[in-house]
Amino acid sequence: MLSSLASPGRPLQRRRNAVTDDPISLPIIEKLIGFDTTSRESNLDLIDYVKGYLADLGVDSLLVHDDDRRKANLYATVGPKDRPGICLSGHTDVVPVDGQAWDTAPFKAVVRDGKIFGRGTADMKSFIAIALAFVPRLLDRGLKTPVHLAFSYDEEVGHLGAKRLIEIVKDMPVKPAMCIVGEPTSLGVIIGHKGKKKVRIHVRGHEAHSSLTHEGVNAIEYAARLIAFIQETARGWQKDGPFDDECDVPFTTMQVGMIKGGTAPNIVPQSCVFDMEIRHLPNVDPEALFDGIRRHARDAIEPEMKAVAPDAGFDFEESPSNLALNTDPEEAVVAFVKRLAGQNRHGKVGFGTEAGLFQQRAGIPTVVCGPGDIAQAHKPNEFITLDQVRKGEAFMARLADYVVSEQLAGAA
Amino acid sequence: MSDGKPASLDWIGTLIGFDTTSRDSNLDLINHVKDYLAGLGVASTLTFDDDKRKANLYATLGPTDRPGILLSGHTDVVPVDGQDWSSDPFRVVAKNGRLYGRGTCDMKSFIAVCLTFAPKFLERGLETPIHFAFSYDEEVGCVGVRRLIAMVNGLGIKPKMCIVGEPTNMQVTIGHKGKHSYRARVRGYEAHSSLAPIGVNAVEYAAEAVAYLKGMARRIAQEGPFDTLYDVPHTTVHTGTIRGGTALNIVPKDCTFDFEFRYLPEIGHEGYFSEIETYLRETLEPQMHALDPATGFTIEELSSIPGLSMDPGEEVVTFAKSLAGRNDHAKVAFGTEAGLFQQRAGIPTVVCGPGSVDQAHKPNEFVSLEQIEKCEQFMEKLLDHVSGR
């Protein structure tokens, strides 16, 4: 039981680097940023580094690979293996820097003006680095409650790594009692987030010479009509709800991401493809929402296309959804993480994380709490403030104080 | 025609066999034609593009001291990319009275008939010269012919009339629409897509602009103005290509789309362009700027091809009708180099050639043998005329 959480907090042991005032995790942050782990690339160099670092401390790692063995998840237990502990989870991959104007090299951490710049500083290698930096301290002091590290690949492209890892973790004889996913929340305690549904829409038109537009079915123009409906529907949700005021963007959002269509300017386009995503409130069913889009395409737009060419129309390629997180605020993990973060409040966020997978697939109570601000994520000149790193270290120090002195009883 | 088959079959097969998709060089075809004409004692003038990868060919058969009749066509073809062909597009297949292949209809068959008749013109002896003008890159904006016309404008003696052999089912065509195409670049504002409402989605705003253009097209089709001689009797506008956005979890910052007007030459297109521009500046951009002032639309002209507008009473019109053996004339929606010959070279021009534009730009493009025969009959009458018989 976590009853000891009700006692007054221990004095915070702030470790300062003996030589400078830098956060202790800075060297590992710099090391991890230096690995280009854009999702499409292999992450094995980073994973090998982490595996080696842990091995040098006497901690074994389990690697769970993808089919091509180009990427791997890493799972390691620090401390006793015979009892459930606290899982710290994060993804090792980052989004592309393609087409972005960076002032510094994105894969080299630069410390300037109280910030660390680099791709992944906020989202989310700093959290991983802080966890790793504390492992020696945990082992020195001796753990009563284990800390499980779960680092995944391909989170940014569909939680692909975590899905494999969780299939294995959920069936372990001893699995974590709770999980903290360290995505950037400025160390706010996040108990819910939206789910995400992605669909690729193929529009089939009918070709003709562009001087005879009425004989063709212009796939781009019909795509534009459906996109206009998507945009209008999204604006309707923004205006009329449903609302969940605990989410920072308190309504379901929907957007179109990538579009490509047509060949030459003087040919009526036969094909157009675009991607859309729905980020839905935790309590809302994404299938019902998408069904509205599909029905509009079939009932309101397709008949006009088929009147000119019977083969014209829409195809919908649906990807497996990213699950929402919906943790009850009364769950023990919520109070626990509030103590670690020094926060009394909780909230929900609009972005997705692997927390939904831990909760719904593995049945592990989970919250999201990590250093850094989502506003910098995915952008050029991504950064994390040194202040946030220090706060992340303070969080980890409180966690360390707990695990070396208390034992969780049974699985939560 | 000795065995019932058109005499031009050999040349059609030869020309189709050259893959002259506009993005590729046409020099193999041009040099082949140049060598052939040289073998007949006819010199050719080549005018090249900047990279010397493509060339126009201009040649005069017969006397060089008087203006003659110009037969013109383009040597390039549109891509076959992504099209489902039943046979090799660059190898003529004769089946069911048709010749299948990329360019059979648009428009190598006409050039083939011209070349088949070259020795006949020379054998018969010409009172009036015949000029050949074969261009590159018509399909990507009548690019090559502009250099050819500049060269012709500098000649002491220019053709007195011109027949452009684009596919019209051998109907004399006295007008065609002008074409003006544009590239619109939309700049949005990037954000993580979970914060989509604070970003400016370039793809979604592009879609709104495309939908507005489609609305304009519908309105013009219903309300006009109309010129009923045109098979499509009004101005049309369409969006041909679009590309935008990167990863799905980023609000797209960039989207580019190309659109074109095909307009009635007497009306022009400036008013329509002004209308879409006003919509972008006054309706869409303010919504975008409310979130980020650096967003918006940039429009760049891609290509501009003047329309053709000939009075039915002009000499070239009645002359072409006598060659075609018919009294009717028409106007067509598709663009050709004829408008450029009329406007830039000041040469009265009509369009008349074998095949139907319905097959142009499509997979399994074909021209019927019957059309080839009609074109050859046209050339026979031309031969009679220019040889003074």
List of chain B residues whose C-beta atoms are within 8 Å of the C-beta of residue A305: none
List all residues of chain B from 17 to 46 with a beta carbon under 8 Å from chain A.
Answer: none
pLDDT of residue A124 exceeding 50: yes
Please state, in angstroms and as integers, the Cα–Cα distance from residue A375 to each residue in A194, B2, B193, B209, following that order.
17, 79, 11, 29
List of chain B residues whose C-beta atoms are within 8 Å of the C-beta of residue A228: 207-208, 211
Domains and CATH numbers, chain A: 3-193+324-405 (3.40.630.10), 195-318 (3.30.70.360)
Tell me if B362 and A208 make a contact (CB, 8 A cut-off). Answer: yes
Mean pLDDT across the stretch A61-74?
Answer: 97
Active site residues of A: 93, 155
List of chain A residues whose C-beta atoms are within 8 Å of the C-beta of residue B221: 214
pLDDT tens, per residue, chain B with 389 residues: 446 688 999 999 999 999 999 999 999 999 999 999 999 999 999 999 999 999 999 999 999 999 999 999 999 999 999 899 999 999 999 999 999 999 999 999 999 999 999 999 999 999 999 999 999 999 988 999 999 999 999 998 999 999 999 999 999 999 999 999 999 999 999 988 888 899 999 999 999 999 999 999 999 999 999 999 988 899 999 999 999 998 888 899 999 999 999 999 989 899 999 999 999 999 999 999 999 999 999 999 998 999 999 999 999 999 999 999 999 999 988 889 999 999 999 999 999 999 999 899 889 999 999 999 999 999 999 999 999 76
Enter the tokens of residue A241.
């709800």
Tell me if B243 and A270 make a contact (CB, 8 A cut-off). Answer: no
Q: So what's the pLDDT on residue A4?
A: 38
* Chain A interface mutation, best of B218, B238, B303, B357, highest count of A Cβ atoms under 10 Å: B238
- Does this model's pTM top 0.80? no
Nearest of A201, A158, A163, A157 to residue A290 by alpha carbon? A201
List of chain B residues whose C-beta atoms are within 8 Å of the C-beta of residue A378: 190, 192, 249-250
Q: Please give the full DSSP string across A78-140, using - where no structure is assigned.
A: ES-SSS--EEEEEE--B---TT---SS-TTS-EEETTEEESTTIIIIIHHHHHHHHHHHHHHH
Enter the tokens of residue A179.
């999980």
Tell me if A221 and B210 make a contact (CB, 8 A cut-off). Answer: yes
Q: Judge contact between B219 and B271, C-beta under 8 A.
A: no
Q: So what's the pLDDT on residue B138?
A: 94
Domains and CATH numbers, chain B: 9-175+308-386 (3.40.630.10), 178-305 (3.30.70.360)
Beta strand A115-117 with A147-152 is unpaired
Q: So what's the pLDDT on residue B3?
A: 61
Answer whether B361 touches A (CB < 8 Å): yes
Answer whether A183 touches B (CB < 8 Å): no
Query: Lowest-confidence range among A37-41, A206-210, B65-69, B152-156?
Result: A206-210
Number of Cβ within 10 Å of residue B88's Cβ equals 14
Q: Judge contact between B90 and B353, C-beta under 8 A.
A: no
Q: Please give the full DSSP string across A149-202, using - where no structure is assigned.
A: EEEES--TTTSHHHHHHHHHHTT-SS--SEEEE---STT-EEEEE-EEEEEEEE
User: pLDDT averaged over chain A?
Assistant: 92
Number of Cβ within 10 Å of residue B294's Cβ equals 10
**CA-based nearest distance A11→chain B, Å:** 38
